[in-house]
Structure 1
Amino acid sequence: MKTLIISFLILHIATGFTALLVGLIPMFSKKGSRLHNRAGLIYVYCMIVVAITALLLCVLQPFKMMRLFLTGIAIFSFYLSMTGWRATKQKTKAPGFSDRLLTYVTLVVSVAMISFGIYLMSQPGDAFFPILFTFFGVLTGIFARKDYSLIGKPTEKMHWFFQHFTRMGGSYIATFTAALVVNIGRVLPPDTPGWVNTIGWIAPSIVGGILIGRTVAYYRRKFDTSKLTVQV
């Protein structure tokens, strides 16, 4: 069992590191180019492996709060990358059964994370995990709820474009955040206040969200999407 766990851990770290490197290519390469598409697909495959290995490591090892939370982040990042990739397949059609199922499952995960975060708030101890579970639970729910609200309803002509880059960008932010916090503990002194780690978790999402929001605003002006709607 120990050898199996080590193998999963190595695979998890290797694919996570590869995703962080490869994920930069689509951001700076020409949109729609072969390089952009291939690198993006490799990133999605890496996130699938990261999520699966995170689940296996969580189940096969003794319970730890951080391990459980990192598993939730891995699933969140996988969901964003998968919906971002699937968006390119939905230019003229509504989400399929598998897309809807993924959305429903993610909504359940969101509710579970929020509920667990609220439960932890009522327990004695550090506020670090209650805040994180609640924050990322709400964040997960926002994305999943948006997907649910768009099923079968009118949306922008370029909805798939915005869905694609916001989700892939969000997935990369989540992956970067997890890698940052896991490794920053090896640099900071042992007596570092808990709120410093909390900021390390939340700050990338806020900064990344602002950058994504500015990008969305730029492309909305460029495409003038307010005049372009279609039925999906």
Structure 2
Amino acid sequence: METLIKLSLITHIAAGTIALLTGLIPMLAKKGSRLHNRAGLLYVYCMIAVAASAVLLCVFQPFKLFRLFLAGIAVFSFYLSFTGWRATKQKKTGPAFGDRVLTFVTLAVSIGMIGFGGWLLSQSFSVVSVLFTFFGVLTMTFAVQDVRLIGKTPEAQHWFFQHFTRMGGSYISAFTAFVVVNIGRIAGDHVPAWLGLAGWIAPSLIGGMLIGRTVRYYKIKFSTPKKVAVAV
């Protein structure tokens, strides 16, 4: 058991570090290029390893609320990255059977997070209870979006926007978890409350603004008619 825990921890740290580094490449590389595609796929594989190792660490180590919460965040980050990657394979067909199963599993996880967070809040108010509820609702929001797409033909550019918004959201979530876990090691044992709160909020605010700006840019680009050269 101890060996399994050590291997899971090593896998979690290694995969998380590689994901944070390689996740930057698709953002900067030319869209659709070999570098963009391969780095993005490596990022997805790393997020699968991060989520799986986080769940194993949560199951086989002594129970801690924060550890359980981080496992939920890992599942959330994985779901965003995986559905973002799968969007490029579903340009015309929509979600396959495996995608639907994953969606409903994630939906169940989100319900569990919300329910557990609500139960914690009923016992006493705490930051962890609020975070459980908040990220549970956030996870449910994305899962419900995918449930609504089942059996429907996706819109022409739906896959494009889902791809980069979810991959970007996954990176923000993974980066936030990295900051929160390591902020104590960087700033010392006595971390000010405002700094811990900033660790949760700042990545989402900055990343959300960048994603929103990118969405607006491409919507304008796609809605602008292309000029056709006329031979004289």
Establish whether TM, by shorter chain, passes 0.5. Answer: yes
Larger deviation, residues 78-87 vs 150-159: 150-159
1:219 aligned onto 2:210: no
* C-alpha contact (below 8 Å) 1:20/1:176 kept by paired residues: yes
Q: For residue 73 of structure 1, what is the aligned residue in structure 2?
A: 73
Which is worse superposed, 181-190 or 194-203? 194-203
Q: Are 1:19 and 2:38 counterparts?
A: no
Root-mean-square deviation over aligned CA pairs: 1.6
In 2, Cα distance between equivalents of 1:196 and 1:121: 23
Q: Residues of 1 paired with 2:104 and 2:168: CA distance?
A: 22
Determine the structure 1 residue equivalent to 2:200: 201
Greater radius of gyration (CA) = 2
State the structure with bigger RCO (CA 8 A, min sep 6), 1 or 2: 1
Aligned residues: 224
Native 8 Å contact 1:100 1:148 kept in 2: yes
Q: For residue 56 of structure 2, what is the amino acid of its counterpart?
A: L
Q: Which stretch shifts more, 16-25 or 189-198?
A: 189-198
Q: What letter corresponds to residue 178 of structure 1 in structure 2?
A: A
Residue identity (%): 67
Task: Single out whichever of 6-15 and 187-196 deviates more from structure 2.
Answer: 187-196
Q: C-alpha offsets along residues 36-71 of structure 1, whole Å, 9 cap, x if unaligned?
A: 000001001101111111111111100011110110
Q: Which amino acid aligns with 1:20?
A: L
Q: Secondary structure at the match of 1:75?
A: helix
Corresponding position of 1:30? 30
Distance 2:120 2:41 in 1: 37
Mapped to 1, the partners of 2:25 and 2:209 lie a distance apart of: 21
1:57 aligned partner: 57
The structural deviation recorded for 1:192 is 3.4
1:142 aligns with 2:170: no
Aligned to 2:186: 187
> Residue in 2 aligned with 1:39?
39
In the other structure, the counterpart of 1:128 is 127
Q: Is the 8 A contact 1:113 1:133 kept in 2?
A: yes
